[in-house]
Amino acid sequence: MRILKIEKNDAGQRLDKFLSKAVKGLPQSLMYKFLRTKKIKLNRKRAEPKTMLCEGDEVQLFIRDEFFDSPEADTSAYMRIEPKLDIVYEDENILLLNKRPGVLVHEDDEGKDNTLVMHLQAYLYRKGEYSPEDEQSFAPALCNRIDRNTGGIVIAAKNAAALRDMNERIRLGEVKKFYLCAVHGIPEKRAAVLHAYLRKDSATNTVTVSDRKRDGYKEIITGYRTLASVGRGDGARSLVEIELFTGRTHQIRAHMAHVGHPLCGEGKYSVNREDKKLGYKWQALYSYRVGFAFEKKGEVLDYLSGREYALSYDDVWFCSDFEGAGYGK
């Protein structure tokens, strides 16, 4: 028999989710079978897979040792990597990181060392705030994702309670995100809230936008405010601030293209051949400001409510194209 004691970073999750991370050699089908047949118990009693764990609980496993066989935590990568993080804000629970365009947030088929999450974990490991050897089911993680070719603020959690709390705040829409983008043309209205409908095609990883509701389409709401404009005619470009009221796949890129103002440097919903000649190596989109407007009280991150964090215009690579045009006012 093995006994796994639920520590602080293990609590607050379902029993089956904990087991899938803590006993990696145990197939999921067997895990559910062992729960049904009481070969896995919680506090020496039969438990349902969805039972929520509390700190101090004990999981008893009457299963073969081979299921526990897994590689030891490899910490060599954390010493091999020289963490490169642009930290906007940090406290005992979270970090706000400025991710540069071209940086992956999570690993892909090419490997995992040079990703934002690995640099985050290496940073906390070297600080002594993360020890994989001492964790059964948790690793510091990112609460939101940004595309590889997009830059901006990414929220990271240092502990499981902060991760759960921030993810719930994001789900409830209590985390406000603002973006800067450079678009072709000059919007007719200086500011507006755009409403449309979007359908995702997973096979092509593209989306289609419609002005009317159709089967399979979800509502999108995108607010924008024009900050500055340069050029004339077909060569005109504008610096625009975007507020997302819904968070759909490719929403900003597709919605702005739909209304006739595609992002500079964006090749999926526009043609970016000429943009590259102007220096737009990446799509001109940056998540530059985040605000916390928490309504629910009593959670670990309450102290963030009412706060806002923003990058300067100098931190956003394409803002220099609009110098002297009145941006930032």
60-84 per-position pLDDT tens digit: 999 998 888 665 556 788 888 899 9
Span 273-321, pLDDT tens digits: 899 988 999 999 999 999 999 987 767 999 999 999 999 999 999 999 9
Could you give the angle at the alpha carbon of 269 between the alpha carbons of 264 and 275, nearest 5°?
25
Q: Which CATH number belongs to the domain containing residue 47 in this structure?
A: 3.10.290.10
Which is nearest to 156 in space by CA: 107, 224, 86?
86
Give the residue carrying structure tokens 């102290």.
303
- Domain assignment present for residue 317? The answer is yes
Question: Residue with structure tokens 């964790």?
Answer: 135
> Is residue 304 one of the residues assigned to a domain?
yes
Q: Which residue has the tokens 């300067």?
A: 312
User: In this structure, are 115 and 162 located in the same domain?
Assistant: yes
pLDDT at 136: 92
Domain range holding 229?
Answer: 175-322
Q: What global pTM score does this model have?
A: 0.88
Asked if the structure places residue 226 within a domain, the reply is yes
Flag whether 221 is in a domain: yes
Answer with the one of 153, 170, 187 that is the final residue of a domain.
170
Buried-state track 90-116, b at ≥16 Cβ within 10 A, e below 16: eeebbbbbbbbbebbbeeeeeeeeebb
DSSP 108: B
Q: What is the pLDDT of residue 246?
A: 92
Which pLDDT band holds residue 329 (cuts at 50, 70, 90)? very low
User: Residue 239's pLDDT is what?
Assistant: 97
**pLDDT tens per residue, range 102-157:** 999 987 655 566 899 999 999 999 999 999 989 999 999 999 989 899 999 999 99
What residues have CB less than 8 Å from 181, skipping those under 6 apart?
A: 239, 240, 242, 252, 256, 263, 264, 284, 285, 286
- How many CA atoms lie within 13 Å of 166's alpha carbon, on the beta-carbon side? 25
- How many structural domains comprise the chain? 3
More confident residue, 10 or 323: 10
Contact call for residues 225 and 326 (beta carbons, < 8 A): no
User: Is the residue at 328 inside a domain?
Assistant: no
For residue 140, is it within any domain?
yes
- pLDDT reported for residue 19: 96
